[in-house]
Every structure is written in C-alpha cells, then in structure tokens.
Structure 1
Amino acid sequence: MGPFASPFDNLLCMLLGISFTVWFTLLLVFIIVPAIFGLSFGIRRVYMNGLLKVFGWATRRIERGAKEKNHLVYKPYTNGIIAKEPTSLEEELKEIRRVGSGRDLNGSTSSPIGSSFSSSEFAVSDIFHFCRRGVESIVDDEVTKRFTAEELESWNLLTRSNYNFRHISTRLTALWGLGLIIRYCILLPLRLTLAITGVTLLVVLTTIIGFLPNGRIKNFLSETVHLMCYRVCVRALTAIITYHHSENKPKNGGICVANHTSPIDVLILASDGCYAMVGQIHGGLMGLIQKSMVKACPHIWFERSEVKDRHLVAKRLSDHVEDKSKLPILIFPEGTCINNTSVMMFKKGSFEIASTIYPVAIKYDPRFGDAFWNSSKFGMVTYLLHMMSSWAIVCSVWYLPPMSRQKDEDAVQFANRVKAAIARQGGLVDLL
C-alpha cells in the first residue's frame, strides 16, 4: 500500500500548498496591502448595500408569513427589557375586570350583571395590576435597559438579533442556512486569518521598534506600525467606518474622550489616528501585546494595586499631557459598555486634568451586527466570536470641536457638558 499511497499524499500536500498560497496571496493583495496604506476598493460598501436589500426582503417575507398564519410579529415598542404595547391605565384595568368578572372560582361563566365595576371604582383585582406594573418599572428602569442588547424590528438573518425568525418560510430558511455557511465557513476563517496577522505584526514590529533610541524616527515608525496593524485588525471585522469632521481630530498633549459600546471602540478610533492607551496590566496574550506596545509608544498601563489610587493615576495622566510631543490619551469616561442607545455618567477623573478635551461620538448600525458587549452575559472569547461571525460592523464616528474647562466650572459640570455634546451629536440618550 505504501507505493500507492505516496503519490496521493504528495498530490494532497501539493493541493493544500497551492490552496494556502492562493488564499494568502488574495488576502495580501486585496485586503492586507490596501489596509496598510489606508486604501479601499469599495467592495465593502457594495457588500453592505447588498445586505440591506436582502434584509429588507427577509423582513417583508416574515411579516407576510406571520400574517398568513394569523401570528403577531414581535416589534419592540420600547428599548426596554419588557416589551409591551402602549395602552392606557383605564384600558388595562377594564380588561382585567372583564376577564375576572366573567369567570367564578370554579371556572364557569357567570353573569356580568351585578359583578362588573365601573372604571371609577376600586376592585381587589386591581392590586395585581399595580403590583405587576411596579415590578416592571423597577426591572425596566432607564439605566438597567441600557445594558441589554437592542432588539431589531427588521431581521438581519441572525437568530440572536430578532425573535421573528420562527415565522420564516422554506425559502427564507434556505437563505438563512446559506448565510450561516457564508458567515462561519468563509467569513470567519478569513477574519481569523486577518486578526492573527494583525496581532502578530503588532507584537513583532513594536518589539523591534522598541530597541531603537528615542527620537523622531522611532516615533514615526511606531505611529506607522500601530496605524497599519489596527487597520488590518479592523478589516478582520469587516468594519465599514465613516469619519466626520476630521479637522477636529485629537492633537498631541490632549485627551480624547468617547462613549463606550464595545472593546472594539479602540480599534475603530485607532485605525484613523494614533493614541496613547490607558488601562490595567493583564496577563496572557493581552499582557504580551501590552508589553510589546509600550516598548514602541508611551502607553499608560497600571498595576492592579495602582488603579484605585486616584492621585497616582491623575499624576501620570498629567505628566503625559504636559509633554506636547506625546500622543493624545484615549479614555472612555463611562467605565463600562452601554448598548449603543445612550451615554451614561462620565467619571470626573479625566476632566480634573488641565488639558484640552477632544470629544468623539461613536454610533454603530445594529442591522449588520450588534457591537454591544454585555460582559455579564458573554465572555470576551464568545463576544469576539459573535463579532467575527456577524455580517459586518458598520459605524459612524464624529470628531467634535475641542472643549476646555471654564473658570466657573468644576470637573463634574465639565464632564456633563462634554457628555451632552457627545450624546447630541451621536443621536444618543443623555442619561443624567
């Protein structure tokens, strides 16, 4: 069997080698090289427009199928956790009394005469209604629902984004299956390859640059490498980003603050400009990336024991912004991820520093993929898998004019003013 198996093995190895060569060559020519130079062939825009047409057809097919089966199509009336139709209190009480007065304890129908109540009277059954509404109000408050993913009215062929997929037809099922194959068998391997390439280049090149003496050449190479690697990583998400008002981009010696929806916010901003990152030192792969990055660029990493020392953090940030040759600091003052609908309270720490603040508003389009990271529900690996198996990440970024703290303004008031400007520009709810 040996002589007969050897030619087959050689042929198989040759085919695998050719396939890998063709695969990597296509990646290099059409994705990696254009990403390095910040170029685009417009393929992603065409891809996005095609997806919108498919999503529109799928939504119409769901609505028609539900209508044929006399089913109600779920549509979120609020962005809250509990979806309910907007009805008045009188109508709800009337319905509860009608149902309650129509049956006795044995389940038999009783006469409504003498047992019905006028809308102005109080009935014992009203207690249950008010208890239910009270619990709903507690659970569905303005803050809690900002940590829950948005529910889409249209279906983007992702079962995790809408519950109406149960109304799909045979043709829609086939389309969903085809989309599943495309996302997990074509897009996911492609994106994993790009992500590994981008991270590997970042670690290797920043480590090499770290051996160079400090100076203009090192700074130039560091910024070029960071920008190049971030752009490759952004392509790994099929990110389609529209930047507005680039004349307001953060300058050296300043602090860039932005609303926070996802860990990939860093990639979104860093692919259009270089920043000094601020964060806690981690272990594992993330720690390796941090160590290599700080060799080439003065990022600000804190030990776990130093994070709670506000004075130490403020001093290191102040020392950084006083040096106008250093990159602007990127900070997310909310301190947590919000579900792309609102902006929560900004922590005042970064606004106590005497420096120019460059506000940035980020708004994602959830039709192609939900960028919100619910850290209480999904781990980082699961979240990244969701991102890389989504259709695309589409977002808009607005660079707002720089803002400075006024004389009669404290840090909290300044933070609220910046937060309001970001919310207004991004079309987000400003939570006080």
Structure 2
Amino acid sequence: MDRLESSSSDLDRPSIDEYLAADSVQCSPKKLHLRDLIDISPALTEAAGSIIDDSFTRCFKSNPPERWNWNVYLFPLWCLGAVIRYGILFPVRVAVLAAGWIFFFSAFFPVHFLLTGHDKWRRKIQRKLVEMMCSIFVASWTGVVKYHGPRPSMRPQQVFVANHTSMIDFIILEQMTAFAVIMQKHPGWVGFIQKSILESVGCIWFNRTESKDREIVARKLREHTQGADNNPLLIFPEGTCVNNQYTVMFKKGAFELGCAVCPVAIKYNKVFVDAFWNSKKQSFTMHLVRLMTSWAVVCDVWYLEPQYLRPGETPIEFAERVRDMIAVRAGLKKVPWDGYLKYYRPSPKLTERKQQNFAESVLQRLEEK
C-alpha cells in the first residue's frame, strides 16, 4: 500500500520540463521527471569514490618535472646528458660511495670495540665518522646544500624538529651535526645501519604499529633531553614523508617535553631531481639510485630561532605555531591531515584501478547510446 501511495505521489510531482524554457522543452523528445535523476545516483557515488586527487593524496604524490618541448635540437642534447649521467657520473659516484663505506667500516668497528673503556673518546670519534659518511652520501648525489642560521650545538633541554621529505633529510642534516634522530625501524641494509651504527650516536627507533613502542620512545626522549653530553635530538613530527609542497599535522610528542624546540625548514629545488621518497612505490635503494643518476640534489636548510611553550598554550597549539614557521620559511602549504592516515588508505594501485574501471563503464554506456 505504501508503494502505491509513493508511486501516485511521484506522478503528482512536477516534471523538470515545467521549469525549463518553452523552446528547450520542444527540443526534448522525451519527458524527463525528477525520479529519472535518481537513477544516476549510483553512478555519481561510484564517480566520487573513484576521485583520488584530493588535498590529502596530493601531499604524498610525486610531482615529475614538466616535459621538454621536444624538437630535433633538444633530443640529441638529452641523449648526451643521459649518457653522461648513467655512463660516467653514476659509476664514479658508486665508486666514491663504496670507497667511503670501506674506509668507514675499517675505522668504525675498531673504535667501537677497542675503546670500550673510553666512552667519551669513542663517542666523539664515532660522531665524526658518522658525519663523514653522511658527507660522502651527499657527495654521491653531487649535493648542493646551503645552510642558513647558526649551527646546532650540544646542550641539554633542546629538541630540533624539521619537515620531512625523504630519509635523505636526516643525511643532509647529519653531515653538519651528529643528531640523535627518532626514526621508524626499517628492514634490509638500512635496518643493519640503524642497529649497528646509528645507535652509537643515540638514535632511537620505533615501530608505528606497536602501541608499547610509543611509551618506551616517550620515556627515552625525556631521558635524552636531560643529558648534557648527548647529541642534539632531531624529530620529524609529521611522522611520514611529504612531497615538499605541503606540510601535514605535527605530532605533539616533541612539544610536550618541556624544553626548547628549534625549528628546521628544508626546501628542495626540483630543477634537477624531485627528492621526495614515495615509500609505497619505491624502495630506498632505488630512491638513492634515482638521486645518483641525476645531475645534482639542490636544497636549502634554515635553522630558525628556538621556541618555547607560552603561558596558557597547549602542546597542540605549540606544534601548530612551529609548523607555521617552517611552512612560511620553506614555502609549504599547510593541510589539516594526520600523516599516519597514509598507512591506512587503499594503495594507489587499487584506487587507480577503480578509477579506470569507472571510466571504462562510462565510455561503454556512451558508445551504446
């Protein structure tokens, strides 16, 4: 009975042609009712679900450089550049990196095991060796890094926070000052370096999927900031790599330690290569290969004025104020997203396949009509 009443009420509703001009109605071969528009709601829902170019996804999307205006003059030059980058620069850079690792290991492990009773000297030598190895990494990309502001110093009650584009952020900052960084655990050769080498400078590792790790890390952070002889503490409060055009929400952990927060702004110039590491699409090894086959990695680093928690200011407000400073200095756009959502979203392949399926279904309907 309810269905009959709803059907009769639908028939009593005005049709769209009553709201159109008379000439447009005459051109329409079929009378269109409001209920006909409801039939397209599933298609609209599917279309909305297929859209992936939103303000969140753009934060983690690689932005390749604009294509050349190809012609007969530029193509030979591009081929010559490819031969130089892949045939000359890349082998030389690999040789430099390999020689650096050989020298580093031949010095690091003897110092680590032979100077057991001289902790002060051992930490000092290991700190210099880690800085040297990071400098070799930067040289293997032909890194052109310009540092602005006073160099960080070792003192208690301070923590450095920076925007995060790639793991090379740590390498670029580490070559000037041996920071103790808070970093996600990684597998493979990166994990080996974390465990055997970087722990010597006080680095702290965590696993974002383990809730117990957060409590342990929070305790270690407080203990580290109290030590006068500890290396400066470096935290990337975004918690994930962002594409150096946006900045996502800062986690408040670094801003509730009760110490000075020193902002660091990092901005990469994409004239030669995009330094963003999309960890979902590329391993860190292939990311390094891409950097080593480019002409150069160009970036600026600004060490900004230390900031303190103001009276009546919450740690979240403090984090937003520091994020504003970094965004303005590095020319980044602020978005109100939690970067950890990146790890709980569908993979890019899944969304691209869904988008392609929807496009094919629309084209098929158009062809049928």
Q: TM-score, normalised by structure 1?
A: 0.63
On the 8 A contact 1:359/1:418 being kept in 2, the answer is yes
Q: How far apart, in 1, do the equivalents of 2:223 and 2:118 lie?
A: 18
Where does the alignment leave 5 or more consecutive residues of structure 2 unmatched? 1-22, 29-33, 337-369
Q: How far apart, in 1, do the equivalents of 2:206 and 2:46 lie?
A: 45
Deviations 1:301-329 (A, max 9, x none): 45788674322111111111100111111
Map 1:22-421 to 2 at 5 A: 115=27, 131=44, 135=48, 138-153=51-66, 164-165=67-68, 168-210=70-112, 211-212=114-115, 213-246=117-150, 249=152, 251-253=154-156, 254-294=158-198, 296-302=200-206, 308-421=212-325
Q: How far apart, in 1, do the equivalents of 2:26 and 2:148 lie?
A: 67
Larger RCO: 1 or 2 (CA < 8 Å, sep 6+): 2
Q: Partner of 1:394: helix, strand, or coil? A: strand
On the 8 A contact 1:360/1:398 being kept in 2, the answer is yes
Q: Partner of 2:298: helix, strand, or coil? A: strand
Q: How far apart, in 1, do the equivalents of 2:274 and 2:325 lie?
A: 24
Q: How far apart, in 2, do the equivalents of 1:178 and 1:262 lie?
A: 29
Q: How far apart, in 1, do the equivalents of 2:282 and 2:185 lie?
A: 21
**1:203–1:147 Cα change, 3 Å:** same
Q: Partner of 1:372: helix, strand, or coil? A: coil
Q: Give how far 1:405 is off.
A: 1.8
**1:294–1:235 Cα change, 3 Å:** closer
Q: How far apart, in 2, do the equivalents of 1:302 and 1:150 lie?
A: 29
On the 8 A contact 2:179/2:201 being kept in 1, the answer is no
Where does the alignment leave 5 or more consecutive residues of structure 1 unmatched? 1-110, 117-121, 154-163
Q: Give how far 1:355 is off.
A: 2.0
On the 8 A contact 1:256/1:328 being kept in 2, the answer is yes
> Which residue number corresponds to residue 43 of structure 1?
none
Q: How many residues align?
A: 306
Q: What is the letter of the counterpart of residue 147 of structure 1? A: F
Deviations 1:323-343 (A, max 9, x none): 011111111111111111011
Q: How far apart, in 1, do the equivalents of 2:322 and 2:173 lie?
A: 18
Q: How far apart, in 1, do the equivalents of 2:199 and 2:276 lie?
A: 31
Deviations 1:261-292 (A, max 9, x none): 11111111111111112234545422332343
Q: How far apart, in 1, do the equivalents of 2:148 and 2:93 lie?
A: 26
On the 8 A contact 2:207/2:213 being kept in 1, the answer is no
Q: What is the letter of the counterpart of residue 264 of structure 1? A: I
Percent identity over the alignment is: 37
Q: Partner of 2:197: helix, strand, or coil? A: helix
Deviations 1:38-87 (A, max 9, x none): xxxxxxxxxxxxxxxxxxxxxxxxxxxxxxxxxxxxxxxxxxxxxxxxxx
Q: Give how far 1:206 is off.
A: 2.5
Q: What is the letter of the counterpart of residue 203 of structure 1? A: F
**1:223–1:309 Cα change, 3 Å:** closer
Q: What is the letter of the counterpart of residue 149 of structure 2? A: H
On the 8 A contact 1:252/1:328 being kept in 2, the answer is yes
Q: Give how far 1:183 is off.
A: 0.8
Bigger shift: 399-408 or 260-269?
Answer: 399-408
On the 8 A contact 1:307/1:313 being kept in 2, the answer is no
Q: How far apart, in 2, do the equivalents of 1:227 and 1:307 lie?
A: 32
